[in-house]
Each structure stands twice: as structure tokens, then as C-alpha cells.
Structure 1
Amino acid sequence: MTELTDPLDIGGCRLPNRLYRAPVLECAGNGEDAVETLISELEPTAESGVGLVFQGASIVTPEGGCAAPNMTRVHDPDFVARLEQLTDAIHAHEGKIFLQLAHGGLRSMATWHAGYRAHNPDERQLAVSQPPWQLRALDRLGLISLRPRVLSTAEVRELAEQFGRSAGYAVDAGYDGIHLSAANMSLVQQFLSPFYNRRDDEFADGVRFLEAIHDAVREHAGDVPLVTKVPAETVAPSFVRRNISMAEAVDLAERLVGIGYDAVVPVEVSTFWDMSIVRGAYPDRAWAATELQDGYAAAFGGRWRARAVALLNRLQARRFDREPGWNAAFCRRVRDRVDVPVLLEGGLRTRADCDRCLGGDSGDGEPAADMVGMARPFYAEPRLGARLLTGEDALCASCNNCTIPQVTGEPGRCRTPSVVRAKGRLEQNGAYERNSSDGE
């Protein structure tokens, strides 16, 4: 039986255990305090014994592509070189850190954030093809703003090179691996998805884009471990007729491993940016917060529009399954077909659920994954690893009060009083103190 505390290799990188912090928004930006913000956000996780930390989606281009305010860009080698302070801090605790590379494409802020558009009136969204009719209809209704610039074949190749260059800068700064953001409606998912990709060149097969990124990473960053998410668009709305089926996604994972990706993260997603990303309760407290109302209005183009988005959020919160480890069945199917580590994330909150997914003590008895990760729980408990690795459970209630405020530029932090109080009591009792033998 595989244990959470067992070591694991990904692409030659030895990890001390099988727990990882999944990518989330750090909202650090690129300002003078960006490095310090990232250190304060991520070092406690490594200090608590978590074997692998993923720094959240970081944009590879100098402009555009940000899906939310205050995302960090990693196109500039001088800035990335400063991040050696972060990687040194992680390594001081014997942890490992991978950088997730991303671009928003049609999910960028120029599409949905009214205030951002006002300050960047000439910005256009990079697009794989002309947007599907569903998005064009939302544009005509004034709910979003589409000004797409469809990438030429040469521009696609150059964008893949930019992913590779950013990976090279990261490795020079001490990052242990690269993670490709290929889900949650990122530009990479848009290449893979038949809903978005209707090209007629070599990149009509979206895997060719990921192959080009792989080759560019190898050219600029050498044999650094390379991980990618693998999307199955199984929670797309029923009116979406073209999407990545489960069977196609399993085949996709196998192809990517054949190309040379060192690990995969199978995730069930939508074709839209919706509550399938952060399944859980409707965040009443966050939407009602008085101090955030101006920020919501600025983001969505007025208070009435913000209320409409909140209503849609409430309806969607009822739709999506919240079963712990909701990607487990998908991961298990992929794991049966590939010979690299399969990483599982999505709704895990207890040590028992982690052990179940790693040990195979449910379903058909086969493990679902080789490594398990959590994201939002680390907003509530940055040093959560110290408790999980010794058999305890996360405090996170999946209430999403930490995520919705991020549309205003707020950092991700727990805003649920009962959880904050519980964390305080645990801190007073020394629950986050880690002995040198913990996790071994």
C-alpha cells in the first residue's frame, strides 16, 4: 500500500513524500515586493513538510494573457532571476518547487474585466481560432468583450518558444520543474479543445502545440521535469456539442507521455470559466462583504452586473459534484495507460481521502494516483502539511470565500471566521510545529 509519506520520483526529481500544493493564484504581481510576497505565501508550505509546491499560473508573455488581477509574469529573465530567493527558501526546507507556465487566451482579463479594459483599450485576446458562437453571443449581449487576434502558424511557434524561454529562466533561478497550465480554459486547453480549435494548419491537432512547448522547454531548460494538466471537458454545458470526451482525454494523456511529459494531472473541466474550477458552496460572505462592492463593480462593469454574476455563481454552485477527489476515476483510467506519475487534485480535504486515492482501498482496488494535492486548503492553513502528514485533516470547508474576492485583486486568504478561529487554536497548541522526523 502506497503511503502519503512515501517518496516519489518525477522526471528524475526525488520528492520526499506524495503530498503537493496544487497551483493557486498567489496574486504577487511583478512589483518590488513580488518576491517577498511569493516567499511569504509558499515557504511555510515547504517548511511544513509538503514534498512539492507548485507556484501558480505565471504568464509567459510581457502583455495580455492574465486571467485575474495581479498574476505574475515570467517573460523577463531579470525578474525571474530574483526568484532564486524563493527557490532557495523552498530548498532550505528540503522541498521542491515547480513553476506553472500559462496564458489566458480568450479567458484573459480583456474579455471579462471592465476596469482592466478601460485601462487597456487597445489590448486584444490571443485566440486559437475565431471564438465559438456561444462566446460571440455573450459578446453581442454585452456580457463580455471579444476582440480576438487569431494566432498565425508562425505566432504559435513563437509562443511555444516563449514557454520554453520562460522555462529556461526558471531553471536558471533554481526551479526544480515546470508545470504546464492546460486546463481551466487556459490558452493551452483552447488548443486542445475542439470547441475552440478549428484551425486548418498543423496546430489543428492541439497536441502539436504541447509538443512544440515540450521541445522548446527541452531546448532552453534541458531535462527538467515537465508536468502538464490533461483536460476532459466532461462538465461542459449540454449545449456544447464539441468537447474533449473522457475517452479522448485518456488518449490525450497517453500521447503526451509519449511525447516526453514526465507526469500528468488529469482534471475534469468545462469549456467555460465557471464553478467547475472551484467546486463548493456559494460564497455568501465574500459576495456580501461591504469593502469589496466597489471592486466587484469595477470588475464586472457596475453593481447590477456584479449582482447578476453573483446570481449565476449561486446557480452554478448547485450544479457541480463536490465528492472528494472528483477527478479520481479519470486519474485511475489514465494511470492504467501511462508509465509516469499521475497526480490527483480536486476536493481532497482529509487524510483518509488522500490515503484512499493513493492506496486503492475503494472502487476496483486500484490506486487512483501516485501523488495527491490540495489548493484552497493552503489559503486557510499555509502550514497544513505538518498536520496532514501526521494523519490529521484540513480545516477548509470549500466555501469559496477565499476565491471570489480575487477578481478584485485581493489575495487568496480564508475569510470564514470559524475556520480562522480553528486555525488560531491549532497554532496556539503547536499543531503546525514540525519535528525533524515528521513525514519520514
Structure 2
Amino acid sequence: MPTLDDPVDVGSLTLPNRLYRAPLLECAGNGDGAVDTLIQDLEPGAATGAGLLCQGATIVRGEGGCAAPGMTRVHDPEFVAELERLTGRIHEHGSHIFCQLEHGGLRSMETWHAGYRAEHPALDQLAVSRPPWQLRLLDRLGFLDFSPHVLSTREVRELARDFAVAGARAIDAGYDGVHVAGANMGIVQQFLSPFYNRRDDEFADGVRFLELVHDEFRDRAGDAPLVTKVPVETPSPPVVRRRIDGDDAVVIAERLAEIGYDALAPVETSVVWDMSIVRGEYPARAWGESSLQPAYHEAFGGRFRTEAVKLGNRVESLFYGFEPAWNADVARRIRDAVDVPVMLEGGIRERGRIDRLLGESCDLVGMARPFYAEPRLPARLLGDVPDTTGALCENCNNCTVPQVTDEPGRCRTPSVVRERARRERDGEYETGR
């Protein structure tokens, strides 16, 4: 059985080990300091030995599509060329980096962020089909603000081309591969999901969109690794009857592997905004920060709506408590069905559990929020370490909610911050790599 320290092939690329930093929001934007912010966030993981770092969701177009404030866009060739500074720094440490490509579609800020919507009143959301009745109801109740533009067949092809062009530019800038954001309610999941996709053209089959992205990317970037997430919508609310179940996900994965995707990351995720992808505690500290209240009110449209969102967040936390390796079962099913590596993330924290999962449920193991708590986490997980060695992350989610206010992703839990500082003083993040 492989261990975390063993190399693994992803397409034409050989990674030095099987630990990767899963995609996270860096909140770097595209301003003058964007590249420096990305280096600050990503280089520590490379310097301490992570085989792969996935830069968080970057938007393939210059307007709209951001699911949260501060997301970086990769539509501009001049900006993408500047990212060579980032990729060069990662490669200096012997690590590799993928760029994750995204467009939010109906999840974009122009749907849910009241302040952003007021500043961009003419900005419509890109939609695969007319929004489902459940979302239209939330619109009528005032919690969301839909003005969807349903993509024509020609426009779907143009969007797929934009994904591929952005990916090819990233490869030219030194990225080792491209990660298509196929879950977390972004537009790719919306193509795959029967909840969203009611089309009557060739893209009624949502895998066709990912096939077109693949073909366009190969034409421009050759055999550079191309990976994607596979959504499993079983955590969706009971009122959602049309969704991707585990059997559907296996079929989607088999088709994507046949098309030529080099690795797949199965992810349980809802069809709506909830905690199904960040399971754990209700983030009471983050909601209670007095300095963030004006920004919450701006984002959600006032005090009343903010309180309603807080209440919904608290209810969700009762359904989505922390469960170790919560994607492992579906990952195991998909790994048995495909002949490409399976990437597992979601609730993975201890080295002993990691080695048990490798070769059984997955071929690579990723962590996301633990890198907010410990940017140099690989130094403690790789090598000859006890099975009980694990991440400091307490799954409290205090790092996630403030991001709706354009706050950077960072651990905000004092006990964790103090423990990381102690470990830094004691040299536990030093490495000879």
C-alpha cells in the first residue's frame, strides 16, 4: 500500500509525494499586490514539502462570475504572465502547482451580495437553464436577487473556450496543470446537475461541457495535466428531488476518465449555499466580531437579512457536523471504477488515517482549511512521524464566514493561533527539504 511520502503520477506529471493543498480562497484579487499575496499564501506549503498546491478558484472571465469577494481573475494575459513569479517560487522548492478555474454562474456575487449588486445593477448571472423553483422562491422572498441570462448553445461553447484559453495561459505561465472547479455550486456543477440543467440542446448532457473544455484545452496546452472535481449532491435539502447521487457520480467519473481527465476529486456538495463542504461547528466567533458587522450588513442587505443568514448557518451546523474523511466512501467507489488517480479531500486531519485511505479510497490526499491554520503544515505530516500526528485545525469554520466581507482566509481561533506560534518557536515547521 502506498504512503503519503510515495511519488504518484498525474497524467504526464510525477509528484514527489501524495499530499496536496486543496483549493482555497486566497482573496488576492488582481491588484498591484496580488502576486505577492499568492506567493505569501502558497509558498510556505511548497517550502515544507507539499507535492502539489492548488491555487484556489480563479475566474475565467473579466466580468461577473465571482462567488466571493477578492477572487482572482485569469482572463488577462498580462496579469497571467506576471504569475510566473509565483510558479517559479513554487518550483524552487521542488513542488508543483495547479491553477483552479471557475465561474460561479448562479452562485455569483451578483446573486447574493447586496452591496456588489447595487454597484453592478446591470450585471446578470450566467445560467445553464431557468433557475429551479426553489431558488426562484428565495428570490421572491428577497434573500437572493436573480436576473439570469440563460446561455445559448453558442455561448456555452464560448464559455468552454474561455476555460481552455485561461488554462493554456496558466500553463504558459509555469503552472504544472489545471484544476476545473466542478463542484461547490459553480457553473460546471450546474451543467452536471439535473437540479439546474433543463436544457434541450447537446449540453443537456452536462458532461459534454467538460468534454469540450478538455478538447479545447488539449488543442492549446497539449498533455499538461487536467483534473476536475466530481460533485455528489446527496447532502441537498429534501425538497430537491433531482440531483446527482452516488451512482450518477460514478458514471460521470467513468466518462471523464474516458474523455481524458488525468485525475478526479469526488466531493459531496449541496445544490444550494450551505455547510456541506465545510463541515464542523457553527462559527460563533466570526459572526460575533463587532468590526465585521457593517460589512456583513452590506453583503447580505441589512441587519435583518444578516440575522436570517446567521440563523440558517446555525441550523446547517446541526446537519453538517464534522465527519472525518466524509468523501471517502464515494471516492472508493469511483477509484474502483476508473483508471486515473482519485484525489480525496474533506475532513482529513491525521497521518495514520491518511495512510489507511491511500490505496483504498484514493491516490492523493488534500487538505484545505488546515492550511489556513498552518501554512507550513506539510513539515509536520510528511516523513517518519507518528500515526497520531495531525493538523491543528479545529473545524470551527471561523475562517470561512468573514470571507463574504473581503477578509482574507486565515485562522481566527485564538487557541489554534497560539499553538501554531508555539510550534513555530519550537522549530516544528523546520524541514531539510
What's the TM-score once normalised by structure 1's chain length? 0.97
Secondary structure of 2:358's counterpart equals helix
Query: Which residue is equivalent to 1:216?
Result: 216
Superposition map of 1:24-423 within 5 A: 24-359=24-359, 367-390=360-383, 391=385, 392-423=389-420
Deviation for aligned residue 1:354: 1.0
Give distance in 2, aligned partners of 1:246 and 1:129.
23
Give distance in 1, aligned partners of 2:245 and 2:419.
41
CA deviations on 1:238-293 (whole Å, 9 max, x unpaired) are 11010011101101000000000000001111111210021110011000001100
Secondary structure of 2:227's counterpart equals strand
Amino acid at match of 1:10: V
Deviation for aligned residue 1:188: 0.3
Give distance in 1, aligned partners of 2:419 and 2:356.
26
Residue ranges of structure 1 left out of the alignment (5+ in a row): 360-366
Give distance in 2, aligned partners of 1:421 and 1:342.
35
Give distance in 1, aligned partners of 2:307 and 2:266.
33
Deviation for aligned residue 1:321: 4.5
Give distance in 2, aligned partners of 1:209 and 1:321.
33
Secondary structure of 1:336's counterpart equals helix
Count of residues in Structure 1 that have an aligned counterpart in Structure 2: 429
Secondary structure of 1:116's counterpart equals helix
Give distance in 1, aligned partners of 2:310 and 2:45.
32
CA deviations on 1:137-168 (whole Å, 9 max, x unpaired) are 00011110000000000000011011111011
Secondary structure of 1:402's counterpart equals coil
Amino acid at match of 1:416: T
Query: Which residue is equivalent to 1:427?
Result: 424
Give distance in 2, aligned partners of 1:221 and 1:180.
14
Give distance in 1, aligned partners of 2:169 and 2:432.
34
Q: After TM superposition, which residue ranges in structure 1, 4 or more long, deviate above 3 angstroms?
A: none
Query: Which residue is equivalent to 2:4?
Result: 4
Residue ranges of structure 2 left out of the alignment (5+ in a row): none
CA deviations on 1:114-137 (whole Å, 9 max, x unpaired) are 000011010000000000000000
Amino acid at match of 1:230: V
Secondary structure of 2:362's counterpart equals coil
Amino acid at match of 1:297: H
Amino acid at match of 1:377: P
Deviation for aligned residue 1:322: 2.1
Deviation for aligned residue 1:320: 1.6
Give distance in 1, aligned partners of 2:31 and 2:432.
35
CA RMSD of aligned residues (A): 0.7
Contact 2:279 2:323 in 1 (8 A): no
Give distance in 2, aligned partners of 1:321 and 1:287.
18
Secondary structure of 2:267's counterpart equals strand
Contact 2:281 2:321 in 1 (8 A): no
What's the TM-score once normalised by structure 2's chain length? 0.98
Give distance in 1, aligned partners of 2:311 and 2:161.
41
Q: Share of identical aligned residues, percent?
A: 65
Query: Which residue is equivalent to 1:364?
Result: none
Query: Which residue is equivalent to 2:23?
Result: 23
Secondary structure of 1:266's counterpart equals strand
Give distance in 2, aligned partners of 1:354 and 1:403.
24
Give distance in 2, aligned partners of 1:244 and 1:70.
30
Give distance in 1, aligned partners of 2:253 and 2:33.
38
Secondary structure of 1:307's counterpart equals helix
Deviation for aligned residue 1:303: 1.4
